[in-house]
Amino acid sequence: MNAFTYRKNNLYAEGVAVSRLAETYGTPLYIYSRNHFREQYRVLSKAMAGARPLICYSVKANSNAAVVKTFLDENAGLDIVSGGELFRALRVGADPSKIVFAGVGKTRDEIEYAIRENILFFTVESEPEAARISECAKKLRRKARIAFRVNPDVDPRTHKYISTGKKENKFGLDAERMVKACEWAGSLPNIEIAGLHMHIGSQILSVQPFCHALEKLTNICTSLKKRFPAFRYLDIGGGIGIRYRPDQPELTPELYAKTLVPLIKKTGLSIVMEPGRFLVGNGGILVCRVQYIKDNPFKKFVVVDAGMNDLIRPSLYDAHHEVLAVTRNSGTIRGDLVGPICESGDFIAKDRNLPVVKENDLLAVQSAGAYGFVMSSNYNSRPRAAEVMVDGTRSTLVRKRETMKDIVSGEIITAKQTGIRSRIGRK
């Protein structure tokens, strides 16, 4: 489903005019489509039905409570990577028995929090982490379920920063070491070897890397199943890519499922999946307003009120995001779409054919539903954007725009500086 379409040259988010939302809530503004999220979830579950997976939405992709709740309402589980994400999950009523906890650097506090809440399992990245989980579980007089993450050493052919299953990456344990690691961890007090995990990277557009990785895991699963009576889960991670350009080839859930389901069924294990981007990426846009059109002898710049602090993907990964005019017109101009931040790395689109715009016009940056707002910051002391959820013809503000007061609220002015405070107070 494409939730963002034109009606008589005006861009709509489902049944609501984007311009109206921008007027009401201001810019920069993230707008999400609840029906896009639901439909992506349903398409994936339908395609994967043969493997009956527990689909754990990867909260890191977009952790807004309204987004997480949308997936909980579809019966999803959750994939989390921090105590903060666990807190968010529980706050919106997630069932801990459908939560899996990943990440290379879990602290004792985070581990104990998750054990107390009795999550489904930890995906474990190293032997020292297994030892730490064992200690925490012992202290709490509980048993912790773990699934070691395998690093299958396959190239997912994605950006190097989001490739995670090659041997030089910090993630997982190599396949050769896996059985030994499980035997050792299985002998620790209060640890149950519950399964195996893999996640080879993100924005993967071909099925082969998943296939190669799974083939490497199948034998390990067979030997672990024999050794550990509680061994029953195979977590195949996330990583299914989406279309950022209209002409980009797609990895459809149908092809993904057709290729992988026979392989995973052979293992006889319960399947867990951790999709993030696939579920939310194309269900969000970032709306911004043109501030200035600037020409220099070499280039044209369209300066907008959203910067790398709002959407860092172009600066960090050279990521491509389509840019649409909220009120469509014909013609394009060649140039850079840039933000207000004091860095040349602050751009949303570089050397691109952009819609013809003038000061105050609205632009919509596409495919901003995943790793958009969640990676935003207050750099340059810019309050973070508001977020709105659209469902049919209804729109709801699901995160208020930050105020200047919000961004300084954690800072402490010491006694010596009270003069400063009183001057601010008078303003």
- Give the interface segment with ligand LLP, choosing from 40-48, 186-194, 236-244, 340-348 (CB under 6 A): 236-244
The closest of 189, 201, 54, 48 to 120, measured between CA atoms, is 54
78 or 354: whose CB is closer to ligand LLP? 78
Q: Is 151 in the site for ligand LLP (CB under 6 A)?
A: no
Rounded Cα distance, 55 and 238, in Å: 10
- Determine the Cα angle at 248 with ends 237 and 332, to 5°: 135
Beta-strand pair 144-151/99-101: unpaired
Residue 407 Cα to chain centre, angstroms: 23
CB of 35 to ligand LLP, least distance (A): 20
Query: For this structure, is 136 an active site residue?
Result: no
Judged by CB under 6 A, does residue 79 bind ligand LLP? yes
Give the shortest CB-189-to-ligand LLP separation in angstroms.
Answer: 27
Nearer to ligand LLP, 335 or 339 (CB): 339
85 touches ligand LLP by CB under 6 A? no
- For ligand LLP, the closer of residues 203 and 309 by Cβ is 203
Q: Of 34 and 199, which has the nearer Cβ to ligand LLP?
A: 199
Residue number with CB closer to ligand LLP (40 or 203): 203
> Contact between 261 and ligand LLP (CB under 6 A)?
no
* Pattern 153-192, ligand LLP, x by CB under 6 A: ---------x------------------------------
Contacts of 84-90 spanning 24+ positions with Cβ under 8 A? 85/59, 85/60, 86/110, 86/113, 86/114, 86/117, 86/119, 88/59, 88/63, 89/59, 90/117
The reply on whether position 321 binds ligand LLP by CB under 6 A is no
User: If you ran DSSP here, which 8-state letter would residue 201 be given?
Assistant: B
Handedness of CA 407, 412, 416, 419 (dihedral sign): positive
Q: Does 106 bind ligand LLP (CB under 6 A)?
A: no
- Partners of 240 in the beta sheet? 204
Residue 85 has phi, psi (to 5 degrees) of -70, -35
* CA angle at 365 for the pair 368 and 351, rounded to the nearest 5°: 120
Q: Please answer whether residues 165 and 153 qualify as being in contact, where contact means their C-beta atoms are separated by less than 8 angstroms.
A: yes
> Do strands 99-101 and 386-391 pair parallel, antiparallel, or not at all (unpaired)?
unpaired
58 binds ligand LLP (CB under 6 A): yes
Distances (CA, A) of 89 to 30, 97, 110, 253, 410: 21, 12, 14, 26, 24
Residue type, position 146, single letter: I
Smallest distance, ligand LLP to C-beta of residue 241, A: 7
> Per CB under 6 A, which region of 5-13, 37-45, 54-62, 69-77 contacts ligand LLP?
54-62
Question: Binding of ligand LLP at residue 376 (CB under 6 A)?
Answer: no
Decide whether 238 or 307 has the Cβ nearer to ligand LLP.
238
Determine if 371 is a binding residue for ligand LLP (CB under 6 A): yes
| Distance (Å, whole) CA 212 – CA 189 | 34
- Report the site for ligand LLP in 5-44 (rule: CB under 6 A): none
- Give yes or no for residue 102 binding ligand LLP (CB under 6 A): yes
Reduce the secondary structure of 7-66 to three states and give it as a string: ECCEEEECCEEHHHHHHHHCCCEEEEEHHHHHHHHHHHHHHCHHHCCEEEEEHHHCCCHH
Instruction: Kindly provide the b/e burial profile for residues 162-183, where b requires at least 16 CB atoms within 10 angstroms of the residue's own CB.
Output: bbbbbeeeebbbebeebeebbe
CB 86 to ligand LLP: min, Å: 15
Hey, what are 102's tokens? 């990943």
Strands (E) located in 274-361: 284-295, 300-304, 323-325, 332-338, 347-355
Q: How many chain residues interact with ligand LLP (CB under 6 A)?
A: 22
Site mask for ligand LLP (CB under 6 A), range 185-224, x = bound: --------------x--xx---------------------
Considering only CA atoms, give the Rg of the chain.
23
Q: Is 277 in the site for ligand LLP (CB under 6 A)?
A: yes
> Applying CB under 6 A, does 237 fall inside the site for ligand LLP?
yes
* Cβ 196 to ligand LLP shortest distance, Å: 13
Among residues 178 and 326, whose Cβ is nearest to ligand LLP? 178
User: Does the footprint of ligand LLP cover residue 314 (CB under 6 A)?
Assistant: no
Minimum distance between the CB of residue 105 and ligand LLP, rounded to whole angstroms?
12
Six token digits for residue 122 = 């930890």
Catalytic residue of the set 56, 182, 211, 342: 342
Point out the residues that are catalytic: 342
Interface residue list for ligand LLP (CB under 6 A):
58, 60-61, 79, 102, 162, 199, 202-203, 237-240, 274-278, 313, 317, 370-371
